[in-house]
Amino acid sequence: MTDCGAEPLGGPDLRPVEGAAADAELAALAKALAHPARVRILRLLARRNTCICGEIVDELDLAQSTVSQHLKIMKNAGLLRGDIDGPRVCYCLDSRGLRRFKALAGSL
Amino acid sequence: MTDCGAEPLGGPDLRPVEGAAADAELAALAKALAHPARVRILRLLARRNTCICGEIVDELDLAQSTVSQHLKIMKNAGLLRGDIDGPRVCYCLDSRGLRRFKALAGSL
DNA sequence: ACGATCCATCGTCGTTCGGCGATTTAGGGC
DNA sequence: GCCCTAAATCGCCGAACGACGATGGATCGT
């Protein structure tokens, strides 16, 4: 139940890990992780291999609107995907973005 | 000339990569990297294995005071070390902090 | 001792972040 | 159609960020 759709299935990332564009990219990804609540959300989603939705709100003792903002930030950064599942929305990791982040971090 | 002193020489980092404390730690490190100029500074310092000081100002087309702020942020985050070298200050990577960041990023 | 240089810090300004309650939007169930 | 629930969005607020110029403190050269 409520599993996210399949990944868009990208091959290995060919973009460079250096240069001005890569710097901006890493900075943007880092900014998306620059808050404990967002790191926690990412870990929650990683632990349960299935997707959860409003359960995140229950775990975080933050208001629903605040959690929604955090989710939006990470989604825009490409770290999460959110699929609509009936009246709910199912979030899960975007492993592509996560891999990209790790690759950029590893290049330091 | 102008090489930083030796690293404080820490063994392998024993702190956990998960839990609330680790989340806060990763968030803090990520915040320190959440700006293109700071990523760039880190890369500049990584490229030249010797330390540079005000040369960073020349490369960044930012005001000297702004660069100083960025350096302070990364120093406080444990990503840089700054050793006084006569009238100049010699910045270089704190490989301990950098390793820690990579370890935390890799745990995602 | 003096001026010059390097860097840090201060004060200011506009922008963005992070939080919340309240409201809107979108589906599902009856 | 109507309500109920889940989630997004809006509006507001205080706090922090990011940039700058100006000022201050330390050190070198002369």
Task: For residue A53, give the CATH number of its domain.
Answer: 1.10.10.10
Q: Does B98 fall in a domain?
A: yes
Number of separate domains in chain A: 1
pLDDT of residue B1: 47
Q: Does B7 fall in a domain?
A: no
Kindly tell me if the per-residue pLDDT of A57 is higher than 80: yes
pTM across the whole model: 0.91
Protein-proximal nucleotides of chain D (any atom < 7 Å from a CB): 5-11, 17-22, 26-28
- B39 and A46: CB-CB below 8 Å? no
What are the CA-CA distances from residue B21 to residues A6, A39, B39, B57 (Å)? 33, 11, 24, 34
Q: Does A93 fall in a domain?
A: yes
Distance separating alpha carbons of residues A105 and A41, to the nearest angstrom? 20
Distance separating alpha carbons of residues B92 and A30, to the nearest angstrom? 21
The residue ranking higher by pLDDT, B51 or B86, is: B86
Question: Model confidence at A15, in pLDDT bands (50, 70, 90)?
Answer: confident
Q: Does B71 fall in a domain?
A: yes
Domain of residue A68 covers 20-106
Of A20, A27, A43, the CB nearest to B33: A27
- A36 and B23: CB-CB below 8 Å? yes
Q: Does B27 fall in a domain?
A: yes
The answer to whether residues A78 and A100 touch, using CB atoms and an 8 Å cutoff, is: yes
- A33 and B36: CB-CB below 8 Å? no
Q: Does B21 touch chain A (CB under 8 A)?
A: no
Q: What is the β-pairing status of strands B80-85 and B88-93?
A: antiparallel
Q: Does B84 fall in a domain?
A: yes
* Digit-coded pLDDT (tens) for A59-103: 999 999 999 999 999 999 999 999 888 778 999 999 999 999 999
**A2 Ramachandran zone, left/alpha/beta (phi>0; psi -120 to 50):** left
Closest among B29, B48, B2 to B96, alpha carbons compared: B29
What are the CA-CA distances from residue B93 to residues A14, A86, B17, B42, B75 (Å)? 27, 49, 21, 7, 9
- All residues of chain A having their beta carbon less than 8 Å from the beta carbon of residue B35 are 27, 31
